[in-house]
Structure 1
Amino acid sequence: MMASHSDSIPTAVAVVGAVLAGAIVVKHVLARLRIPAAVGYIALGALLSLLNERWVWRTPFLDAVFRFLGAIGVACLLFRVGLQCNLRALLAQLGRAARAWIGDFTISGLLGFSVAYYWLGLPAMTAAVVGVALTATSVGVSVVAWQERRMLDSPDGELMLDIAELDDISGVLAMSVLFAVLSAAEGGTDAIRWLPLLGSFAPKVSAFVAACWLYAEFVEARLSALLRRSQQPTDPLLLILATSLLIAALAEWLGLSMAIGAFFAGLMYSRDPQQVRIEASFDAIYGLFTPYFFVAVGLGVVWPAMVPALRMGVVLLIAGIVGKVLGNGLPVASMRGLRSGVVIGFSMIPRAEIAMVVVQRAREADPTLVPDTVFGAMVLVSLVTCIAAPLIVSTFLDRWRPGA
Structure 2
Amino acid sequence: MTDLEPNIHLIILLIGVIIILSILTKFGLQRFNIPVLVGYLCLGLLLRIMEDNFSLLADVGLEIIKFLGDVGLISLLFRVGLESDLGKLIQQLKRASLVWLGDVAISGLVGFVIPVVLLKLDTISSLFIATAMTATSVGISVSIWQEAQGLNSPNGELMLDVAEMDDISAIFFMALLFNIVPVIHNGYQTNLDVLIIKTIIIFLFKAIFFAGFCFFFSRYLEPHVTTFFRKFDPPADFTLSIVGFGFLIAAIAGLLGFSEAVGAFFAGLLFSRDPEAVKIDASFDMLYDLFVPFFFISIGLAIDVTTLGDGITWGTVLLIGAVLGKVIGAGVPAFLVAGWHGSMVIGLSMVPRAEIMMVVMQHGLNLGEWAVSSEVFSAMIFVCAVTSVVTPFVLRSLLNPTY
- Could you tell me the TM-score, scaled by structure 2's length? 0.96
Q: Distance in 1 between matches of 2:188 and 2:341?
A: 42
Give the partner amino acid of 1:340.
G
Question: Matched residues in 2 for 1:2 and 1:368: separation?
Answer: 38
C-alpha displacement of 1:198? 2.1
- Match of 1:81, as an amino acid? V
For 1:149 and 1:369, locate their aligned partners in 2 and report how far apart those are by CA, in whole Å: 41
Distance 1:102 1:24 in 2: 38
Change (3 A) 1:214 1:189: farther
Query: Larger deviation: 139-148 or 374-383?
Result: 139-148
CA contact (8 A) 1:43 1:295 kept: yes
Q: Deviations over 1:134-166 (max 9, x none)?
A: 100002112222111211111111110010111
User: 2:367, 2:402 → 1: CA distance?
Assistant: 44
Name the CA distance, whole Å, in 2 between partners of 1:370 and 1:44.
22
Query: What do the CA deviations read for 1:264-295 (whole angstroms, capped 9, x no partner)?
Result: 10110010111441211111111111000000
**Percent of residue pairs identical:** 38
**What is the match of residue 50 of structure 1?**
49
Cα distance change on mapping 1:141 and 1:33 into 2, 3 Å: same
Aligned residues of 2:331 and 2:346 also touching (Cα < 8 A): yes
Q: How big is the shift at 1:239? A: 1.4
Shift of 1:189: 8.2
- More displaced 10-residue stretch of structure 1: 197-206 or 312-321: 197-206
Distance verdict in 2 for CA 1:162–1:57, change over 3 Å: same
Does residue 1:125 correspond to 2:124, yes or no?
Answer: yes
Look up the SS of the partner of 1:185 in the other structure: helix
- The answer on whether the counterparts of 1:100 and 1:327 sit within 8 Å (CA) in structure 2 is yes
TM-aligned CA deviation for residue 11 of structure 1 = 2.6
> Per-residue CA shift, 1:186-216, capped at 9, x if unaligned?
3258746123212321221111111121111
Alignment correspondent of 1:89: 88
Letter in 1 for 2:69: G
Q: In 1, Cα distance between the equivalents of 2:169 and 2:216?
A: 23
CA distance in 2, matches of 1:274, 1:183: 41
Q: Contact (CA 8 Å) 1:362, 1:369: kept in 2 or not?
A: yes
C-alpha distance in structure 2 between counterparts of 1:216 and 1:93, whole Å: 22
Work out the CA distance in 1 between the residues paired with 2:258 and 2:145: 35
- 2:335–2:342 contact (8 Å) kept in structure 1: yes
How far 1:6 moved relative to its partner? 5.3
Residue 184 of structure 1 deviates from its aligned partner by: 2.1
- Shift of residue 54, structure 1, vs aligned partner: 2.5
**Which residue is 1:307 aligned to?**
309
Q: Which amino acid aligns with 1:298?
A: G
For residues 233-263 of structure 1, the C-alpha deviation after alignment (integer angstroms, 9 at most, x for no partner) is 2222111111111111111111111111001
Which residue in 2 is equivalent to 1:111?
Answer: 110
Deviation at 1:224, TM superposition (A): 1.1
1:4 aligns with 2:12: no
1:70 match: 69
Q: Residue 375 of structure 1 is aligned with which of 366, 374, 377?
A: 377
Q: How many equivalent residue pairs?
A: 400
Q: Is the 8 A contact 1:6 1:57 kept in 2?
A: no
Q: Distance in 1 between matches of 2:59 and 2:391?
A: 37
Q: Distance in 1 between matches of 2:309 and 2:80?
A: 34
Write the distance in 2 (CA, Å) between the matches of 1:29 and 1:6.
Answer: 33
CA distance in 2, matches of 1:53, 1:142: 36
Runs of 5+ in structure 1 lacking a partner?
Answer: none
Contact 1:309 1:376 in 2 (8 A): yes
Deviates more, 1:244-253 or 1:185-194: 185-194
Alignment-mate amino acid for residue 301 of structure 2: L
Map of 1:32-51 to 2, 5 A cutoff? Answer: 32-51=31-50
Report if the CA contact (8 A) 2:108-2:130 is conserved. Answer: yes
Q: Of residues 224, 243, 246 in structure 2, which corresponds to 1:244?
A: 246
Contact 1:93–1:162 (8 Å) recurs in 2: yes
Q: Given that residues 41 and 295 in structure 1 are in contact (C-alpha distance below 8 angstroms), is that contact kept between their aligned partners in structure 2?
A: yes
Q: 1:273 to 1:55 in 2, by over 3 A?
A: same
The structural deviation recorded for 1:396 is 0.7
| Equivalent residue, structure 2, for 1:134 | 133
Please tell me whether residue 161 in structure 1 is matched to residue 163 in structure 2: no
What is residue 348 of structure 1 aligned with on the other side? 350
The CA distance in 2 between the partners of 1:369 and 1:230, in whole Å, is 46
After superposing the two structures, state which structure 1 stretch, 196-205 or 351-360, moved more: 196-205
Q: CA deviation at 1:223?
A: 1.8
Give the aligned residue type for 2:398: F
Find the aligned partners of 1:278 and 1:148 in 2 and give their Cα distance: 24
Which residue does 1:21 correspond to in 2? Answer: 20
RMSD across aligned positions (CA) = 1.5
Aligned counterpart for 1:264 among listed residues 263, 266, 269:
266
TM-score, normalised relative to structure 1: 0.96
Alpha-carbon distance between aligned partners in 2 of 1:334 and 1:200, rounded to the nearest angstrom: 39
Q: Confirm or deny: 8 A CA contact 1:339 1:402 kept in the other structure.
A: no
Determine if contact 1:49/1:301 at 8 Å carries over to the other structure.
Answer: yes
What runs of 5+ residues in structure 2 fail to find an aligned partner? none
Q: CA deviation at 1:337?
A: 0.6
**Higher mean C-alpha deviation, range 318-327 or range 49-58:** 49-58
1:156/1:402 contact within 8 Å kept: no
Letter in 2 for 1:181: I
Letter in 2 for 1:107: I
Which residue does the alignment assign to 1:79? 78
Contact 1:340–1:402 at 8 Å: present in 2 too? Answer: no
Tell me the SS of whatever aligns to 2:222: helix
Q: What does residue 398 of structure 2 align with?
A: 396
TM-fit CA distance, 1:46: 0.8
Q: 1:62 to 1:281 in 2, by over 3 A?
A: same
Q: Give 1:353 shift.
A: 0.3
Q: Secondary structure at the match of 2:84?
A: coil
Moved more, 98-107 or 182-191: 182-191
Q: Are 1:136 and 1:351, in contact at CA under 8 Å, matched by a contact in 2?
A: yes
The verdict on how the C-alpha distance between 1:261 and 1:198 changes in structure 2, with shifts beyond 3 A counting, is same
